[in-house]
Amino acid sequence: MAPDASNLWKLILTLGLLLIGLIVTVLTDRYFRRNQKLILLAVILLLCCLLTAEILLTGTPGWLVPVLAVACVFAVFRLHQKMEREHEQALVAEQRIQLMISQIQPHFLFNTLSTIQALCRIDPEKAFDTTEKFGAYLRMNIESLGQSSLIPFQKELEHTKIYADIEMLRIPSIRIIYDIRDDDFELPALSVQPMVENAIRHGVRGKYGGEVIVSSYEDDRDHVITIRDNGRGFDVNAPLESDGSHIGIRNVRERIEKMCQGSMSIDSEIWKGTTVTIKIPANPGRKEK
């Protein structure tokens, strides 16, 4: 018996509608995944195609469309979560770039190169060592651009010590002291080093007997890092200026909060010094990266 022509056309039309709906949804997800309105419209179109197809085949809407509608809503919800994670990762990456740019100041590069040049005449061996440290400092800053996850504290401390050694060579009147009693944890890259840099540049530089103390320990809840100096200090209640140091402070605080649910606080008193306290939860519910 020959198939009913009307049923054949219904089947062809049904398959066509399903194909159109699927193609529009896939293309929208691939090329417009940042536009949630377009994704929602594509899902609605797919549901309309499914509903029309079921009516053509059965004559009445049945159970298939509600089930698929729930599945589509769940898929949109998961896609929204994925987009939020991607946006947050992109934001963190942008913050790392901003921080690196704000921290590698031209005056530090030029002064370090001038120091190396002078050492080449009076102490070639120290000039060689300083050049090696300077290269390691630049390499670590560049590597941080591609670092989307937390890094061991030991690595951040190594970066900090390299920077501090170069600064103490240039500014012999300052001292950097380390009291490390806890180092088995992770934190965002470029978090301790910028705070030490701020302590030197805006705190103890130019002060005879200037001192910066970097310490770490673990209490009942957190891994605690403090960067304390006896420098000029500042008014913590004054509005933040848009210079590199305050951009760096805000940037570090935001990354610590977002990447490991930690915190950073600053206590400062004019002409007595500043203390930066970073707390990293010992058992954090870290977000997936």
pLDDT given at position 66: 61
Give the strand order in the sheet containing 273-281.
Answer: 174-180, 210-218, 222-229, 273-281, 263-269
Angle at 261 between CA 259 and CA 266, to 5 degrees: 100
Of 95-109, 133-147, 171-185, the least confident: 95-109
Q: Give 1's pLDDT tier (boundaries 50, 70, 90).
A: very low
CATH 3.30.565.10 describes domain 104-281: yes
The domains of the chain are located at 5-88, 104-281
pLDDT given at position 286: 44
* Entry pTM: 0.64
Of 139-148, 164-173, 264-273, the least confident: 139-148
Q: Do 289 and 279 contact (CB within 8 A), yes or no?
A: no
Residues 83-109 pLDDT 10s: 677 667 666 666 665 555 555 566 778
pLDDT given at position 144: 72
Q: Give 249's pLDDT tier (boundaries 50, 70, 90).
A: confident
Higher pLDDT, 82 or 249: 249
pLDDT given at position 89: 67
pLDDT given at position 156: 95
pLDDT at residue 120 is higher than 60 = yes
Residues 210-239 pLDDT 10s: 999 999 999 989 999 999 999 999 887 776
CB atoms within 10 A of CB 146: 9
Q: Do 255 and 96 contact (CB within 8 A), yes or no?
A: yes
Q: Give 42's pLDDT tier (boundaries 50, 70, 90).
A: low
